[in-house]
Structure 1
Amino acid sequence: MTEPGAASVSSASRASFRSRRGRRMAIVMAVLSVVLFTVLALLVAGPDAGGDWVVADRIMMAVLGLGLGAVLWRWAIIAAVPDESGLSIHNLVGRRHILWDEIADVTFDEGDPWATVHLRDTESVAVMAIQRADGDAARGEAQRLADLVAESRTRP
């Protein structure tokens, strides 16, 4: 059931915010790092072939690739998800749900790497899901977020 005033909000405006370029690059690099480090771990010369790599070294190389892949995968799942009560921000480190009433302003100044949500208590929270690398699309997404904040103020 929709709330009064919510009918004017399109389903597209409530879509999740996600970086396009950063997400694509992180996924490609995560897969590449896992594959590359695993292949290297299998191909390096061990003591039986005149090399210095023992089984523990090979395992650590594969684990390093998995670790790097995990960090890159975490970058790929950065998002900001709007709902009726507020905005859930999933940055590289940490998650936070901010109520619409707590948001004072949204900025995406020239030179900033991502959009910023300024809270009424003077705190600022980065919205890494809206990244400068996405160019004009990122500016549009920052405006969409600002519109959602403005729309939330008009609801009863």
Structure 2
Amino acid sequence: MTDRQRDWDFEVRSRKSARYAMVAAGVLVVVHVALAVLLRSSATGVYFRPVDQFAMAGIGLLLACGVLLLTRPRLRVGPQGIGVRNILGERVVEWDLDQGLSFPEGSAWARIELPDDEYVPVMAIQANDGDHAVHAVRTFRELEAKYTGSRAE
């Protein structure tokens, strides 16, 4: 375990969404590479050059990289606060700003409640993860009670 990992008591990521994203990225690459290979083999009346084939494969790789961004969401909890990383960027919410973790009815993921009706979406805890999400919420609330001195729910 690295020093950076020891700073956090709990870390969670979505399971199903990450798997779906990896499968979708693989499919995008395979389909675009197959299209690139087949681009010059059929007589369509259009002349495709090798650069067109590379571009088709490159588009597939770029799309796959975009889809793989969905594997990044992570929630970490530790003495310094709550680290929330969604698709782009990470934000650390200090414990004095935390007003709880909620999972509104019908929402796809949880959120950290902040003062003045603001919130931070937590894409790492998703409804489609079922028991994994329930465990993550319970563990978060236990650690929240530990660090804020409030009663665990």
Sort the TM-score into its range (normalised by shorter chain). Answer: 0.7 to 0.9
Determine what percentage of the aligned residue pairs are the same residue.
31
Q: Is the 8 A contact 1:108 1:139 kept in 2?
A: no
Q: What is the TM-score normalised by the length of structure 1?
A: 0.80
Q: Which consecutive unaligned segments of at least 5 residues does structure 1 have? A: 1-10
Question: Counterpart of 1:82 in 2: which secondary structure?
Answer: strand
Q: Does 1:68 align with 2:68?
A: no
Runs of 4+ more than 6 Å apart = none
Aligned length: 142
Deviations 1:4-47 (A, max 9, x none): xxxxxxx9x9231111110111112212212221222122226x
> Normalising by structure 2, what TM-score?
0.81
Q: Which residue of 2 aligns with 1:111?
A: 106
Q: Which one of 103, 126, 143 corresponds to residue 121 of structure 2?
A: 126
Task: Give the conservation status (yes or no) of the 8 Å contact 2:10–2:78.
Answer: no
Q: Please, which moves more after superposition, 141-150 or 66-75?
A: 141-150
Unaligned 5+ residue runs, structure 2?
1-5
Structure 2 counterparts to residues 12-91 of structure 1, below 5 A: 14-45=9-40, 50-51=43-44, 52=46, 53-91=48-86
Name the amino acid aligned to 1:50: A
Counterpart position of 1:99: 94
SS in structure 2 opposite 1:126? strand
2:139 is the counterpart of 1:151: no
Residue type matched to 2:127 in 1?
R
Q: Which residue of 2 aligns with 1:142?
A: 137
